[in-house]
Amino acid sequence: MIDGTDTLFYDGACGLCHRSVSFILNRGERGLGIRFAPLYGETFRRRIPEHDREHDREHLPDSLVILTPAGDLLSRSRAVLHIFNRLGGGWCLLGWMGRILPRAFADAIYDLIARLRHRFFKKPEDVCPIMSSEQRQRFDP
């Protein structure tokens, strides 16, 4: 079990990212250790030092980025595998199996999906879906 609360920064204009956030929100208690904020939004600028934001801009994809409780900034395949581990159960097994892959290969798969995501996952029409007050409390600006 992972202790603390991760912050998932996501591209709100990306249909796949939008669905990923909804998926995590609907995992009940397994997803409770994750907060959400827009990528490059106010919380991102406040919590990620400028040097890391500017230096890593080319490495931080416009999709999913995780800030762990330990202060690690995870992107691409590392972020996805971390989310799987956080969700536990079968997802944890998938995360563990994904770590067997060489990171360069896993990142290449991530990059391919990232390039194709707008083709297969349309931009969400409703960027503010109806959700419970408990779910809304897990979002930062």
* Nearest of 30, 10, 13, 5 to residue 21 by alpha carbon: 10
> How many angstroms separate the CA atoms of 87 and 84, rounded?
5
Beta strands 64-67; 73-75: pairing state: antiparallel
- Sorting pLDDT into bands at 50, 70 and 90, what band is 135? low
β partners of residue 75:
65
Task: List pLDDT tens digits, range 34-79.
Answer: 888 888 788 988 888 777 766 454 556 566 789 999 988 888 889 9
Domain borders along the chain are: 6-130
Could you tell me the pTM of the whole model?
0.76
Give how far Cα 59 sits from Cα of 73, 74, 130, Å. 11, 10, 32
Question: What pLDDT shows up at residue 1?
Answer: 41
